[in-house]
Structure 1
């Protein structure tokens, strides 16, 4: 009898598991969200209101307060748990450092989790919920030493010790503004659950100790340190101080691209419980940026779309000559040993320096005076590097059309081919750089020259979607 009872229980459990599996697959579409028609999406949205959501598993970082943590729940953990409860199911966390390779690929392929928390809204590799909130990078400083700046290129930023995270948009923006040598980088760590001192927000404590004068950091870290940890710091948003590098982002929850009904179920729960989500974010001190699409509205001014900034950046990169600041030495900041004038060059040559090597250096430095002098002194204008490139190839590759114009005037071979059969014109087309393409065309470069694979400059430009170059 006991055996029969056990067998009956096993069969019943197995049957329930099968039913559960069938239920679980109800909202996994055969199509990805982007491939579905309007009618299919409407049907999925209706099903989301009826289907019973299975217990969910969210991939979460075990040591990244205030976002997520095994020891003390972060706000991402609490928001996920709240949504699961409101959808009538449960939430379990699969702990995995978010800095490990293959996060989006392996976790879903191995069915380790259903959701990824704290993902950028619209992240290309995933399907995401509606944006939940929007936040910004900030500049933090000790309360006892207030900091004000007129922009990220403010000279005072070059004279203080600034901490930033290794992979930080703000670090990139500061570096482009010339603030680099005084930056103290907080390196990437994968042991932040074992060693909490390695978590990103802990760099803010170096403001308190006096090791740093300022920290450029993702806003939620600074808000948490100030409000929850009571660190004597303050901060201001920097999203309005930069147009090229986005410094504000909308965050959402990610899932497989075909979990369409799950997305709609989550969207519904997020919308209906926006106030409770807002209360959680406020509790953790998250700086909230105004966002009309987000469930939680912020009060900090938003930069708005970066689209036009991207267009302007692309036009300056591909439709204009390379800026002098990208090619020539900043003599105001250079040390004496970095500066090379004609007298110093002549001294080197008198001591036996190689003419051709110095010509390569002069081209790299875009120094017209040195280039003309060295060619006149007998340097080989058509010299090749160890990789088989001529100086015409090199300048075309780096979009330095101004220096290329000097070389063409001095008689460099405009149709020289490298080891792959690429001419300077083909290199210019591949870089989508209109001034380089136009310059070479005006010097009657061979537009029909082909690579070893049979591509002309035009064919390569079209095939690689370098449409500005193709049009030129």
Structure 2
């Protein structure tokens, strides 16, 4: 039986679209409640599978996010939090496809999903710890490095890679780019395939002129390329689906104390979190859609 994974970018878009603006405001107000110092009297024994263990729900083959070898940035974030909590770290691995939340978090087999879009009703979200966007990936020296919108005339007639069914495809269709586009499958067997990896390989070989890819994946694969590729967050697109998202962690709706604990850890360790993300090439954005660099990495998302 194949382990079919849904592209995380689409999961993010669907999650945001399913949540009303008023619901998001109410949730944000609840998440901003400040916990007390230390455990602050928070009783986690009822909420957690094992209070002595940080049990993380994760995909076993989904770099740059996570894998069974602990090589993803969500693995590194889990290691950071386990150290801060003085807990042993353990994982419940399951492919991030349909039923992921039900089989892992919902079945009390683990206690936190390290990366989840803010506003998704499947879980209770923590405060966000990073903000990023879909991106345009091109070769250095292509003459496309300063393209910031998919409607740029320089993209006309170019062969552009796109993950089928993701939000940027709407903009590409509107801008007349789909006729020359190369689609990559949304649902894949993660044991043997990677749509993002295939897109970047085609870009390096010259089979496509540019690629449109979810920021964390784009940044990771761009750094892995030789020479490195150029990544531009698509933050100026306004006439269609949202392309910029806040990412937090996901816990069960009943786990209020655990959520408060994680919120405190995020707040206290934002600089270290940013460094881990930047080390993996994640294009971090502040609230004004300006890039967060190593020099500005102490700022909250």
Q: TM-score, normalised by structure 1?
A: 0.50
Residue in structure 1 matched with residue 164 of structure 2 by the alignment: 166
Q: 1:111 to 1:167 in 2, by over 3 A?
A: farther
Q: 1:47 to 1:281 in 2, by over 3 A?
A: closer
Q: Which runs of 4+ in 1 moved over 6 A?
A: none
Query: Looking at both structures, which has the greater relative contact order when contacts are Cα pairs under 8 Å and sequence separation is at least 6?
Result: 2
Q: 1:117 to 1:81 in 2, by over 3 A?
A: same
Residue in structure 2 matched with residue 119 of structure 1 by the alignment: 116
Q: 1:84 to 1:241 in 2, by over 3 A?
A: same
1:275 positional shift: 1.6
Could you say what secondary structure the match of 2:212 adopts?
A: strand
1:128 positional shift: 1.2
1:306-455 alignment, distance < 5 Å: none
1:109 positional shift: 3.2
Deviations 1:348-406 (A, max 9, x none): xxxxxxxxxxxxxxxxxxxxxxxxxxxxxxxxxxxxxxxxxxxxxxxxxxxxxxxxxxx
1:246 positional shift: 0.8
Deviations 1:244-270 (A, max 9, x none): 311111111101011111111111111
1:151 positional shift: 3.3
Residue in structure 2 matched with residue 104 of structure 1 by the alignment: 101
Could you say what secondary structure the match of 1:108 adopts?
A: coil
Residue in structure 2 matched with residue 298 of structure 1 by the alignment: 292
Distance in 2 between the 1:237 and 1:186 partners? 20
Residue in structure 2 matched with residue 238 of structure 1 by the alignment: 234
2:254 equivalent to 1:263: no
Q: Is the contact between residue 77 and residue 273 of structure 2 (CA under 8 Å) also seen in structure 1?
A: yes
Structure 1 residue corresponding to 2:278, chosen from 273, 279, 282: 282
Distance in 2 between the 1:180 and 1:65 partners? 28
1:211 positional shift: 1.1
Residue in structure 1 matched with residue 130 of structure 2 by the alignment: 133
Distance in 2 between the 1:249 and 1:290 partners? 11
Q: Is the contact between residue 133 and residue 215 of structure 2 (CA under 8 Å) also seen in structure 1?
A: yes
The alignment covers a number of residue pairs equal to 256
Q: Is the contact between residue 64 and residue 199 of structure 1 (CA under 8 Å) also seen in structure 2?
A: no
1:200 positional shift: 2.2
1:46 positional shift: 7.0
1:231 positional shift: 4.4
Structure 2 residue corresponding to 1:84, chosen from 82, 85, 90: 82
Q: Which has the larger radius of gyration?
A: 1
1:117 positional shift: 2.4
1:228 positional shift: 4.2
Residue in structure 1 matched with residue 20 of structure 2 by the alignment: none
Deviations 1:84-131 (A, max 9, x none): 220121221222121x21222332332222112210023222111110
Residue in structure 1 matched with residue 60 of structure 2 by the alignment: 62
Q: 1:202 to 1:112 in 2, by over 3 A?
A: farther
2:245 equivalent to 1:254: no
